Every structure is written in structure tokens, then in C-alpha cells.
Structure 1
Amino acid sequence: MFGKSVRLERIMDRNTGNCVIVPMDHGISIGPVPGLIDMKKTVDDVANGGATAVLMHKGLIRYSHRSSGNDIGLIMHLSASTDIGVSSNSKVLVTSVEEAIKSGADAVSVHLNVGAETEGEMLSDIGRVSKECAEWGMPFLVMAYARGPKIQNSYDPQAVAHAARVATELGADIVKCSYTGDIDSFRDVVKGALAPVVIAGGPKMKSDSDILHMVYDSIQAGGHGVSIGRNVFQHNNIEKMTRAISDIVLEGYTVEESMKKNLS
């Protein structure tokens, strides 16, 4: 497990144990959206803004090597589906831990939709990837959501807590899940997950203040950071937005302090 410890330090802040991850795996799901065209610039911007890691599919790595900027960790995403497919909730493995190592990744991630019609296949895949990660000393992030025919509200605290716990039970070193909307309910999610929890950003939000308050509240509830994509890479100033989030997650700023410094 020592290899995992070494690599985790490449994607998490050593002083706080927190992380600011910017996922860029959206191209397979929804296509070439704004913010994910000039990949080198986007990666440079989030690196300069203080993000600890970026997350992407294997084919993007060659187009995303930074031309300048600070060092940043690399998480390779192993599973995929498209929104125009017949079942977008059914994620399948499209690469392996071994290929991630060959690509220079510091960690890998897999998406799990608890409650989906193909939940069984995804659980099996995660179990297999978890075993490979243990063998190779590779950190494992699981994106765990409650999505499927029986799920009426994917942000329901009990459903979010269940999905997060499934990820930990199958060996996740970091769990990514939805924010439940308030500190008290999310604190229960964090306690039940056991493994470090980071929040997803969800759909593009209406204001910077909304995003930063969600980030701040998740940290107050015991979360260990964020994995926010569209609300970062589609911002009109990617670097400043990343810095605003990083100051809260890694430096202990309040929302007001961060906005005044970065976004005023």
C-alpha cells in the first residue's frame, strides 16, 4: 500500500489531506463542449489556479500536456457511456489500471450508478479494478451516484450515503458523490462513507457564490474537497475560479474572503 500513499500525495494536498480535482471526462458523455477544446490551456489554467489534479479519459492525455504552469496530478478515468446511448446510466470499462500506469497517471477513477439496471455489472467491474489497484499501488477514486429506475431523487441524503458507502466497501480510496444540500445531512454522508469524500459540481450553476457556498459547506461537514468540472472549465475565468475554490478547500478561506480576493 506504500505505492498508494506516494501517489495520493500527487493528487491531494499534503498539509490538509484535501484535494481540488477538475474532471474533464465530459467529452464522451456530452461531446466537445466549451472549455474542453483547447485542452492545454484549460489544464494550464486549473494548474495555475491551484488544482491538485485533473481527471480525463486516456485519449485526451496526449492533447493535454501542459505547455507551462504548475505541476498537477493526473487521474485517468476508466469507464464511460454516452448521453445519446440507450442507457447512459450503464457505465462500462474502456481501459485498465495497467494502461493508466503506462500513460503516467497518478490515480484512476470509475463511475458507479447505484440503482441502475446494470448495477451488477458495474459493481463487478469496480471490484476487479479495486483488486488491480491494490496490486499496483494505484489510488482508486469511485464516482458514486444514486441513479436508476427506482431513484426518485438522486440528492436524497440516504441514497447519497448508500452510494458513497458502496464505493468504500468495494475499496475506493476517495469517494466522489453529490452534495445533499445542507451541512447536517452531508455530515452524515461523510461519517458513513469512512473514506475521504469529495463533492461533484453537478450542472452548471447560476452564480459563483452558489458554487463557493456549496464548496465551503461541504468542507464544514467534513468533506475532503471537490471534483468540479463544468462550473470550473466553463467559467469565463478558469484560473480565478479554480483559485477561489482552492483557497476555500486548501487554505481555509471563507466564501466572502475567497470572492473578494479572486472574483471581485
Structure 2
Amino acid sequence: MALNSRVTEILSNYESENPGVKANLARILMNGKLGGSGKLVILPVDQGFEHGPTKSFDANPEAYDPHYHFKLAIDAGLSAYAAPLGMIESGAMSYAGSIPLILKMNSSNSLHPKSSSYDQAITASVKDALRLGCSAVGFTIYPGSSNNLNMIEEAREIIAEAKSYGLVVVIWSYPRGGDISKEGETALDIVAYGAHMAALLGANIIKVKLPTNYIERDKTPVINMISERIKYIKKACFAGRRIVVFSGGEAKDPSDLYNEIKEITKGGGDGSIIGRNTFQKNKKDALSMLEKVIGLYKS
């Protein structure tokens, strides 16, 4: 796997990482149809935990089969596939080496009492990631939640252990709970704060939601253009020295998703992590949509 100048430049931003972390980050950056471009499109399938099987997979019953998601990510030429322990275990042998894997190590669920504080349970270990041949681990933090300090401490321990074994770390940073309003969860200043916290924790790849032009707390100027808001988030992540990918969010019209991708590209964002907008469609439509998304990032 010969690295091009773009990937070499990105790896140079991670000055303290050991050769194992850099090698696994290079595998993700060089994989699939966007390999070598510096852009990523990742398939995440953790929605079964978060929303339940019916809400997640009834729209496309084939998606109940864990092998379906491996094949979708591989056939689409994606950068990586992220999922909780059981999903990856169910196809790890059949698809070993076929696509970089990200083990999602903590999850919440919709049966958790709504009156309780936002939190996630640790559902896998770094050793599981090594056993299954993963290139990375993923971990969610909820900045703003009354449990956020414990989540940050958990994340720090997992980050240190994962990196010691040469694994890449992906942090899902979703501010919510506490004094943050529902609208504030995607406010520009709040998303930027959460992204910066993930960078400070040592995340190699940071996942955030697409920010709106709403301002919750800071005296941040209102930014109406999505591409300029993307630039603002990238600036918050060490002046663009960290990879930032944006959530595809809830299922939406493909044209809306394509417009978001165009704005992410214009703003210098590093890619997308798209779940429900892919696997809830039939495979033919999902592959067609992902081909369009990849084409937009290539351009």
C-alpha cells in the first residue's frame, strides 16, 4: 500500500502517534473508492442498540442480517464499517481483511428511562477489537450531560489502551442533556465545543452532527452558509489538524443529503458517516446513492 502525498500530509498531523496507529489510520484513508483522497465515507450500524431492531431494520428486512452490512460497505467501496460487538463478531471471519472495521465500544438504548441523565454503557473492550482484527475503536461522549465527566474519564482510559495497541480512536461527540436545549444540540457553538473536546481527548477521527446556524451560548457570530459552519468546526479541531466527519442524521430525501455533502466538501470537511440513509434502503438504491456521495467527495 503506497501512500500518496495527501495521506502522508494527514498522517503528519498526528505527531505523537506510534507506527501502529498511523498504519491503521492509513488503511482507513487508503481504503475503498475514496482511498488516497483524504476523504472518508463510513457505514455505521449501531442503530439497533440506539433505536431497536424494528425502527432500524423493518424498512429493509435484509438489514437484519449482519452480513448484509459488511457486503454493503464492501460493495459500495466505503472507507470503513463501524458497529457494536455482536454485529462485527457475526461477520468477522467471513470478511476478515475485506474492509477496515471500527468496533463501537459503548451504546445507549431507547428503553433507558427518559428521566435519567444521558449516558452510554461500555459494551466491548479493546481486546475485542484486537481479536476481531479491527483497525479502530469508537466511543461516544455526551458533553453537557450530568454524566459527561465520567464518560470523558472512560474515554481517556480506552483511548490510552487502544493507542498502546496501535488502534485508531474515533470519538462520537454529541453534546446533549443538562442545560443544553434540544435546539442547542446542533448549535454551531455547542457542536464546535464538543468537537474540540474530542480533539483534546486525543481522538484521531471526530464525528459530530452537522451544525445549524443557531447559537446557544457563546458570542459566536451567526453563520448562515453551511460550508462556513463546516470551516468553523474544522478550525475548532486544532485548526484543521484532526479528521472530522459529519453524521448523515435521520433518513432524508437523497437530494437533501447530496446538498449537505456538497457543503461539507466546500467547507473542507473530511467526510461523512452515513447509516440509516443507506441500510434502510434496498441495496440497489443504497449503492446508487453511495456512488453519488463518493462522486461528490471526489469532485
| Cross-structure match for 2:174 | 145
| Cross-structure match for 1:56 | 83
| Cross-structure match for 2:20 | 3
Work out whether residues 106 and 138 of structure 1, in 8 Å CA contact, stay in contact via their aligned partners in 2: yes
**Equivalent of 2:251 in 200, 204, 215:** 204
Matching residue's letter, 1:147: R
Output aligned runs, 1:204-243, within 5 Å.
204-205=251-252, 207-236=253-282, 237-243=285-291
Matching residue's letter, 2:204: D
Give me the whole-angstrom Cα distance separating, in 1, the residues matched to 2:89 and 2:286.
Answer: 21
Work out whether residues 117 and 145 of structure 2, in 8 Å CA contact, stay in contact via their aligned partners in 1: no
Give me the whole-angstrom Cα distance separating, in 2, the residues matched to 1:198 and 1:174.
Answer: 7
1:42 deviates by: 3.0
State the TM-score, normalizing by the size of structure 1. 0.89
Work out whether residues 44 and 66 of structure 1, in 8 Å CA contact, stay in contact via their aligned partners in 2: no
**Equivalent of 2:193 in 132, 144, 162:** 162
Give me the whole-angstrom Cα distance separating, in 2, the residues matched to 1:239 and 1:130.
Answer: 33
Matching residue's letter, 2:136: A
Matching residue's letter, 1:15: G
Work out whether residues 49 and 246 of structure 1, in 8 Å CA contact, stay in contact via their aligned partners in 2: no
Give me the whole-angstrom Cα distance separating, in 2, the residues matched to 1:96 and 1:39.
Answer: 20
Give me the whole-angstrom Cα distance separating, in 1, the residues matched to 2:259 and 2:155.
Answer: 32
Work out whether residues 113 and 144 of structure 1, in 8 Å CA contact, stay in contact via their aligned partners in 2: yes
Give me the whole-angstrom Cα distance separating, in 2, the residues matched to 1:29 and 1:42.
Answer: 17
Give me the whole-angstrom Cα distance separating, in 2, the residues matched to 1:161 and 1:23.
Answer: 22
Deviates most, 177-186 or 105-114: 177-186
**RMSD of equivalent CA atoms:** 1.8
1:233 deviates by: 1.1
| Cross-structure match for 1:259 | none
Q: Percent identity?
A: 26
Unpaired stretches in structure 1, ≥5 consecutive residues: 253-264
Matching residue's letter, 2:276: R
User: Which secondary structure state, in structure 2, belongs to the residue aligned with residue 163 of structure 1?
Assistant: helix
Does residue 97 (structure 1) correspond to residue 136 (structure 2)? The answer is: no
Matching residue's letter, 2:278: V
User: Which secondary structure state, in structure 2, belongs to the residue aligned with residue 198 of structure 1?
Assistant: strand
Residues paired across the two proteins, number: 249
**Equivalent of 2:44 in 23, 41, 54:** 23
| Cross-structure match for 2:220 | none
Matching residue's letter, 2:47: H
1:163 deviates by: 0.2
| Cross-structure match for 2:215 | none
Unpaired stretches in structure 2, ≥5 consecutive residues: 1-17, 213-225
**Equivalent of 1:37 in 64, 87, 103:** 64
1:66 deviates by: 8.5
* Alignment CA distance shift 1:66-1:213 (3 Å): farther
